[in-house]
Amino acid sequence: MKKTGIGEFEELVLLTICVLQNEAYAFSIKLEIEARTGRSLNISGIHTTLYRMEDKGLVNSKMGDSSKERGGKRKRMFSVTPYGLKGLSEIKENRNRLWNDIPAMILNDVSKL
């Protein structure tokens, strides 16, 4: 099977969707990533990434219920597909193998920074 080819930002978005579960929509994803990373994000960048990942088959979306807070507008809710979870698993395995192969003395030097 071909590799998923997930970039760093896509990985962050996928992981955040997994964390948020049933509350994963563009703005909640933006807020969660900003809170966890200290990065300032543009909502249009989140939307572009979500739709690109949907085209790749990494996420699915469906329209949620409307709410008074949003003037009756519905939220597009996102969930990670099995293919997206496989991609995340591949990334984690690759990173873990690399981390495990770093000599301890280098890690000790990094911890002193």
Angstrom distance (rounded) from CA 15 to CA 36: 11
What total number of domains does the chain contain?
1
pLDDT on residue 99: 87
Angstrom distance (rounded) from CA 40 to CA 42: 7
Backbone angles phi, psi at 44, to 5 degrees: -65, -30
List, for residues 38-85, the tens digit of each pLDDT value.
Answer: 999 999 999 999 999 999 999 999 998 777 776 778 899 999 999 999
Classify burial at 13, counting beta carbons within 10 Å of its beta carbon; exposed 0-12, middle 13-18, buried 19 or more: buried
> Domain span at residue 96?
8-112
Residue 3 belongs to some domain of the structure: no
Note if the pTM is more than 0.85: no
Residue 1 belongs to some domain of the structure: no
Q: CATH code at 44?
A: 1.10.10.10
**Least confident among 9-13, 45-49, 51-55, 98-102:** 98-102
Residue 95 belongs to some domain of the structure: yes
